[in-house]
Amino acid sequence: MTVPDTSLASASVPEMNPAPARALVLWRRFRRNRAALLGLILFAIVVLMAAFADVVTPGDPLRNAGPPLTAPLVLSANPLGTDQLGRDVMAGIFHGARISLMIGVVATLISIVIGIVIGAVAGYFGGKIDGALMRVTEAFQTIPSFILLLTLVAILGSSIRNIVIAIGIVSWTAPARMVRAEFMSLRKREFVDAARNLGVSDVSIIFREILPNALPPVIVFASVVMATSILMESALAFLGLGDPNFASWGNMIGQGRAVLRTAWFCSVIPGIAILLTVLSFSLMGEGLNDALNPRQRK
Amino acid sequence: MTGERKTILDVRDLQIVLPTGGDRAYALSDFNLSVGAGEIVCLVGESGSGKSLAANAVMRLLPEPHVRVSRGTISLDGQDLLSLPESSMRAIRGDRMAMIFQEPMTALNPQKSVGWQIDEVLKLHTRLSRAERKARTLEILGDVHIPDPASTYNAYPHQISGGQRQRVMIAMALVLKPQLIIADEPTTALDVTTQKQILKLIKDLQQARGTGILFITHDFGVVAEIADRIAVLRLGEMVEQGPASQILLNPQHPYTRKLIAAVPALTPPPAKPVSNEPVVLEAKALRKTFAARGGFLSGKRDPVTAVKDLSFQLRRGETLGVVGESGSGKTTVSRIVTRLLESDSGEVRIDGRDLLSASRSELRALRKDIQMVFQDPMASLNPRRRVVELIAQGPIVQGVARDVAHARARELLSLVELPPAAAERYPHEFSGGQRQRIGIARALAMEPRVIVADEPVSALDVSVQAQVLKLLADLRDRLHLSLLFVTHDLRVAAQLCDKVIVMSKGEIVEAGPTASVFADPQHPYTRSLLDSIPGRDWEPPVRDVA
């Protein structure tokens, strides 16, 4: 309420010049953060690498493509070199981008969806339901997530599908707590009472009234989950628990570890790829935070 | 009262710039104001007028560099404040001039005892010994009429009442005998009876000590109560300034006139003949107790009874006011009759149909007949929905086809005097008064028989308040609605309600036609409420707005 509406009787709505579309406003706020733009560019590069993997480096990335352990910039056929089995590192990086993105997106979706449902129900209903759900959440939080991940993968087997599901299962607790906190404050707002007063059902209030208001911080947090998902998969692969049928970045590091002293590039190049991808997610998360919660900035 | 007195605060030609992209370039421009010793100057304005920024500029507490003074001088007792370095400013703040804030709960540190906080002021600005400081603190707590200074000294802010907290704030401001006190809406968060005591306290202390007071408020009742001189601000411009009697009784500027005219008169209109219309809403023996939740180890606390044995009847076309101070249970009543809160016992009947024992599906149908307008127009509209969706939501839930409901929502916009273009907008694009109109349209969309309005105008500026009240009264008469109107503001109740019930501590202490309750209150509590209305002896001169 910054402008007192003293001219209301004339039924004119002041400052009713057409407001720019919401997406445009968000983009403007996002753009203001330079680091976020850098993140977006890095992310776009990873997406392009994944999209054009078959064009730039056609064929199976796991096939023998040249003499083993060729250093980068020596052969024009293998610009980033080859590993100990003669697999092209550049092909691995391009095709690995697909796997990493897929893991990041799917595992994040799984964890956010579980987190939203549990957090929303706990935060909205409160009381005993909240108590029970939060004890379950705490049970998951007390076990170090990577240990739990190792256990799950060991039990389920290390196919790419199981890895993604396992990563989703170990990372839903933080989003759940976040959504719960948002719901606990939002459910006391009068618009929730207003909706109840109109006869709107609980499910509808949770998902159509409150959830859209609770989402911005969760979306920001999703970028963090995405980055940690990729790291977790890499860590699994590094320990030799990755899916050997796919050229993921983690697998490349894990196999390059054996020749780290003689052929550093086998581990370092995929390492840089992971670093830049994770960095891009966290920078974008920062920018999204500015765009979605403009008031949080000092 | 206009004799030669020493000027304490002199503000000349002040201009404050706002960040670019705001709704105006300057928060204040050409602002001239002086406060003399022993004088209370009221700075009056609606929200957004720049009155609080003026106070912050004097204290040099502006959020620089976004908002800063770009021109003008501020001098305190002849000393230029704007050119002082921050360190000297710190020494002046609290010592030679002090500030009293609106919300004493947030202005006091919840982690420290009251005594510690006053002691800190003394520690910072004086060289008194520990024992002397304690003596001074106890003395000043006594001066602000705190009943038991010794025990309050050790109390924490949450352990004392709102009125006591404001007394502590005042004690803190006064302890160093400043020349100037800036009070920013110091009584807005308080109940009327407490407000009356605090205003009297401020006035007494100021007379005894000859302090100059710059009193910021939006409430003309309060102004009439204490002001020596009045300055009226509108959108950063000073529209009128002069002695209190002149401005209150003979305002010159149209804006001042409008503001004063918007203050509801205290005398209710003559009572309507007794209505023979059927009873639409009936409450019988309502009772609600809030079980205080004890911690795991802290044991149980006593439950709080919010409403006990409350009954009333509301007839068709009638307005029933529920008045009382905070904690009287009036809001609980409004939530029980709409069944947003479950009652412990009793019944609520709408047209003879029981609401409290209705099943889920029956309840959905019954809700159509009793709708609510909420207090906070900012919080009661879902910020992520367009206006047309907000208004049409109720009918859609009740089974009306989407396009029919949307068409009806658009018609309702004109009924609440909003332009058709408003339909496609989001709530944040509207001002407070306009949002409350949207809230009213949403309630009307259900074609209810009863509207429960819980403090629907208390978050609005007076001039907007008058318009919204007029709209509510118009709609009630045109659509033959019944209104259950919950308010703490007796002026508003006097103008709008046919009957009132006065609540205190969960019980009805008095009920009857508004005119007779106001003219001849029977219960001592009602009498003290009526006595506490600020500016009750002042009759606003213009009377063209109801």
Pick the closest to residue B484 from B287, B346, B281, B223 (CA basis): B281
Region B302-331 average pLDDT: 87
Q: Interior CA angle at A247 toward A244 and A251, to 5°?
A: 60
**pLDDT over threshold 60, residue A4:** no
pLDDT number for residue B47: 81
Among the partner residues B364, B417, B461, nearest to A4 by beta-carbon distance:
B461
Q: How confident is the model at residue B544 (pLDDT cuts 50, 70, 90)?
A: very low
Q: Which residue of chain A comes nearest to B445, CA vs CA?
A: A198
pLDDT number for residue A184: 93
Q: Which residue of chain B comes nearest to A18, CA vs CA?
A: B425
CA distance B222 to B212: 17
Residue A9 lies in a domain: no
Tell me, yes or no, if B233 comes closer than 8 A to chain A by beta carbon.
Answer: no
Q: Give the tokens for residue B36.
A: 């003399």
- The verdict on a CB contact (< 8 Å) between A199 and B368 is yes
Residue A11 lies in a domain: no
Region B503-526 average pLDDT: 91
**pLDDT over threshold 60, residue B312:** yes
Residue B161 CB contacts under 8 Å (≥ 6 apart), including other chains: B194
- The verdict on a CB contact (< 8 Å) between B364 and A199 is yes
pLDDT number for residue A60: 83
Q: How far is A124 from chain B (nearest CA, A)?
A: 15
Residue A142 lies in a domain: yes
Tell me, yes or no, if A21 comes closer than 8 A to chain B by beta carbon.
Answer: no
- The verdict on a CB contact (< 8 Å) between A193 and B47 is no
Q: Which residue of chain B comes nearest to A196, CA vs CA?
A: B340
The CATH number for A58's domain is 1.10.3720.10
Q: Tens digit of pLDDT for each residue in A151-170? A: 999 999 889 999 999 999 99
pLDDT number for residue B27: 86
Q: Tens digit of pLDDT for each residue in B42-57? A: 999 888 788 888 888 9
First to last CA, chain B: 34
Counting Cβ atoms within 10 Å, is residue B203 exposed (0-12), middle (13-18) or buried (19+)? middle
Residue A89 lies in a domain: yes
Residue A1 lies in a domain: no
Contact status, residue B283 vs residue B337, Cβ threshold 8 Å: yes
Set of chain A residues whose Cβ sits within 8 Å of the Cβ of B434 = 5, 8, 13
* Cα radius of gyration (chain B): 25
Q: ipTM of the predicted structure?
A: 0.77
Residue A182 CB contacts under 8 Å (≥ 6 apart), including other chains: A119, A123, A213, A214, A217, A218
Set of chain A residues whose Cβ sits within 8 Å of the Cβ of B48 = 1-4
Q: How far is B291 from chain A (nearest CA, A)?
A: 14
Distance of CA A193 to the CA centre of its chain: 34
Q: Tens digit of pLDDT for each residue in B423-432? A: 988 888 888 8
**pLDDT over threshold 60, residue B543:** no
- Number of structural domains (chain A) is 1
Q: Give the residue numbers spanning the domain of A174.
A: 28-67+78-296
**pLDDT over threshold 50, residue A207:** yes
Q: How far is A169 from chain B (nearest CA, A)?
A: 31
Q: Give the tokens for residue A101.
A: 């993105």
Q: How far is B231 from chain A (nearest CA, A)?
A: 18
| Long-range contacts, B331-335 (Cβ 8 Å, 24+) | B331/B454, B331/B455, B331/B486, B332/B288, B332/B306, B332/B307, B332/B506, B333/B283, B333/B286, B333/B307, B333/B486, B333/B503, B334/B372, B334/B452, B334/B454, B334/B484, B334/B486, B335/A193, B335/B454
Among the partner residues A13, A193, A197, nearest to B418 by beta-carbon distance:
A13
**pLDDT over threshold 70, residue B297:** no
Tell me, yes or no, if A203 comes closer than 8 A to chain B by beta carbon.
Answer: no
Set of chain B residues whose Cβ sits within 8 Å of the Cβ of A1 = 47-48, 378, 431-432
- The verdict on a CB contact (< 8 Å) between B418 and A15 is no
pLDDT number for residue A15: 44
Tell me, yes or no, if B369 comes closer than 8 A to chain A by beta carbon.
Answer: no
**pLDDT over threshold 50, residue A13:** no
pLDDT number for residue A168: 93
What residues 193-222 of chain B have any CB closer than 8 A to a CB of chain A? none
Q: Tens digit of pLDDT for each residue in B77-121? A: 888 988 888 888 988 888 889 988 887 778 888 888 999 999 999
Among the partner residues B384, B430, B434, nearest to A213 by beta-carbon distance:
B384
Tell me, yes or no, if B327 comes closer than 8 A to chain A by beta carbon.
Answer: no
> What's the number of CA atoms in the CB half-sphere (13 Å) around residue B227?
30
Q: Which residue has the higher pLDDT, A117 or B195?
A: A117
pLDDT number for residue A84: 83
- The verdict on a CB contact (< 8 Å) between A1 and B434 is no
Domains of chain B, earliest start first: 1-96+180-185+214-261 (3.40.50.300), 97-175 (no CATH), 277-293+301-313+344-367 (no CATH), 374-459 (3.40.50.300)
- The verdict on a CB contact (< 8 Å) between A11 and B23 is no
pLDDT number for residue B542: 55
Count of Cβ atoms closer than 10 Å to residue B338 Cβ: 22
Beta B68-76 vs B7-17: how paired, if at all?
A: antiparallel
Tell me, yes or no, if A17 comes closer than 8 A to chain B by beta carbon.
Answer: no
Q: How confident is the model at residue A175 (pLDDT cuts 50, 70, 90)?
A: very high
- The verdict on a CB contact (< 8 Å) between A199 and B394 is yes
Region A33-57 average pLDDT: 90
Q: Which residue of chain B comes nearest to A13, CA vs CA?
A: B419
Q: How confident is the model at residue B301 (pLDDT cuts 50, 70, 90)?
A: low
CA distance B373 to B450: 11
Tell me, yes or no, if B140 comes closer than 8 A to chain A by beta carbon.
Answer: no
Calculate the average pLDDT of chain B: 87
Set of chain A residues whose Cβ sits within 8 Å of the Cβ of B467 = 8-9
Q: How far is B113 from chain A (nearest CA, A)?
A: 29
Residue A8 lies in a domain: no
Q: Enter the DSSP assignment of B520.
A: S
**pLDDT over threshold 90, residue A217:** no
pLDDT number for residue A6: 39
* Cα radius of gyration (chain A): 24
Residue B371 CB contacts under 8 Å (≥ 6 apart), including other chains: A197, A198, B338, B394, B442, B443, B444, B446, B448, B450, B451, B452
Set of chain B residues whose Cβ sits within 8 Å of the Cβ of A209 = 382
String of DSSP letters for A97-166: HHHHHHHHHHHHHHHHHHHHHHHHHHHHH-HHHHHHHHHHHHHHHHS-HHHHHHHHHHHH-S-HHHHHHH
Q: Tens digit of pLDDT for each residue in A82-114? A: 888 888 888 999 999 998 889 999 999 999 999
Residue B453 CB contacts under 8 Å (≥ 6 apart), including other chains: B372, B373, B472, B483, B484, B485, B486
3-state SS track over A59-87: CCCCCCCCCCCCCCCCCCCCCCCECCCCC
Among the partner residues A8, A13, A15, nearest to B464 by beta-carbon distance:
A8
Residue A12 lies in a domain: no
Q: How confident is the model at residue A294 (pLDDT cuts 50, 70, 90)?
A: low
Q: Which residue of chain B comes nearest to A201, CA vs CA?
A: B397
Beta bridge partners of B93: B97
Position B135, amino acid = A
Q: How far is A110 from chain B (nearest CA, A)?
A: 25
**pLDDT over threshold 50, residue A297:** no
pLDDT number for residue B66: 79
- The verdict on a CB contact (< 8 Å) between B397 and A11 is no
Set of chain A residues whose Cβ sits within 8 Å of the Cβ of B378 = 1
Pick the closest to residue B40 from B241, B245, B207, B246 (CA basis): B207
Region B28-42 average pLDDT: 91
Distance of CA B540 to the CA centre of its chain: 20
Counting Cβ atoms within 10 Å, is residue A167 exposed (0-12), middle (13-18) or buried (19+)? buried
Q: Hunting for tokens 């209705």 — which residue is that? A: B358
Region B64-86 average pLDDT: 87
pLDDT number for residue A210: 92
CA distance A232 to A144: 13
Among the partner residues A2, A195, A199, nearest to B48 by beta-carbon distance:
A2
Q: How far is B426 from chain A (nearest CA, A)?
A: 10
pLDDT number for residue B545: 42
Among the partner residues B381, B382, B434, nearest to A13 by beta-carbon distance:
B434
> Do you know the residue count of chain A?
298
Q: Which residue of chain A comes nearest to B467, CA vs CA?
A: A9
Q: How confident is the model at residue B2 (pLDDT cuts 50, 70, 90)?
A: very low
pLDDT number for residue B299: 52
Tell me, yes or no, if A145 comes closer than 8 A to chain B by beta carbon.
Answer: no
What residues 399-418 of chain B have any CB closer than 8 A to a CB of chain A? 417-418
Set of chain B residues whose Cβ sits within 8 Å of the Cβ of A3 = 23, 48, 431
pLDDT number for residue A8: 38
Tell me, yes or no, if B291 comes closer than 8 A to chain A by beta carbon.
Answer: no
| Phi-psi region at B351: left, alpha or beta (left = phi > 0; alpha = psi -120 to 50) | left
Q: How far is A104 from chain B (nearest CA, A)?
A: 29
Q: How far is B367 from chain A (nearest CA, A)?
A: 6
Residue A72 lies in a domain: no
Among the partner residues A6, A9, A19, nearest to B429 by beta-carbon distance:
A19
pLDDT number for residue A2: 39
pLDDT number for residue B180: 92
